[in-house]
Chains A and B, each alone.
Chain A
């Protein structure tokens, strides 16, 4: 019953932008898109969320398409410490995690 689809893994060069895509074609009008990440076996860490407008904070930017069927998380200058599993979640009631994208930032 996954609501999102993400690539299994991605690589990014250190210092470059990491663009992580997510498809959520069945999203409904009042559902938010959330992004979390999990570094190694630590607890998941909130990154950003949005409804339909693009959002930016100190960690990342979130670009949501006009039809809201997909989004992209952008880490503008990836560092080695950004290596993690990134989860895109469409939240209805509770936050449920899928398999995510394993991002590896390489020197």
Chain B
């Protein structure tokens, strides 16, 4: 079964550093998403992306965050200047469409900001 791939599985960075989390969505999917989950808390929506544009973003997704689809296969989340509170598991997801379509999630990148 096709799957969403995320790299790296763990990322450790120093506060204030830039970090890029990478995702390879399922090849025929058109909608892409980032979620995060702080330890012990719920899964939080960050952003959705379609046709090379952000279609929806949450209040968490501020100017420190950006997303990009640099080529036909990768989907990235960049955090410009990481803060301690950015430490979380970040999940990428993709779907064929947005209405009545199920999301396929990757296994996540655990980001630790020191």
Contact of A45 with B by CB under 8 A: yes
Say how far A100's CB is from chain B's closest CB, in angstroms: 7
A43 touches B105 (CB 8 A): yes
* Interface residue total, chain B, C-beta cutoff 8 A: 22
Say whether chain A's binding surface is mostly helix, strand, loop, or mixed: loop
CA distance A87 to B104 in the complex (A): 15
Bin the interface of chain A by size: 20 to 34
CA distance A29 to B93 in the complex (A): 26
Contact of B67 with A by CB under 8 A: no
Contact of B43 with A by CB under 8 A: yes
A97 touches B104 (CB 8 A): no
- B44's partner among A32, A38, A97 (CB-CB below 8 A) is A97
Q: Which residues of B contact A (CB under 8 A)?
A: 4, 33, 35, 37, 42-45, 48, 56, 89, 91, 93, 98, 100, 102-108
**8 pairs of A and B residues whose beta carbons are closest in the complex:** A43-B105, A46-B102, A97-B43, A96-B45, A43-B91, A94-B56, A44-B105, A94-B48
Q: Which residues of A contact B (CB under 8 A)?
A: 32, 34, 36, 38, 41-46, 49, 87, 93-100
